[in-house]
Amino acid sequence: MIDTWLTVAVLLALITVGALIRLLKASGRHDRILAALLTVTFGSAAGLMLTISMGTLFILDATIVISLLCCAGIVVWTNSNGGTGA
């Protein structure tokens, strides 16, 4: 039988890869910021779905730590590249 949560986790991971490719190929600053935020959001959702599918909290803990580090990195990156305005 097909595990629905695992299927959703895989699809969200593919969407995350697409957002990451968009982050690397975007030319404008606004596009890069949006792609970075979408990458973190979709990656966090994929981690949550994988946690539900696998039934272990270690993946959830790792997802939370990685998401917080990525969000902090985005804040530092946007402030170093021209101030607070997006």
Q: Is the full-model pTM beyond 0.75?
A: yes
pLDDT at 2: 76
Is 29 strand, coil or helix? helix
pLDDT at 84: 55
pLDDT at 58: 94
- Given a contact cutoff of 8 angstroms between Cβ atoms, the answer to whether 86 and 78 are in contact is yes
pLDDT at 1: 67
Average pLDDT along the chain, 86 residues, taken 10 residues at a time = 88 95 90 93 95 92 96 90 60
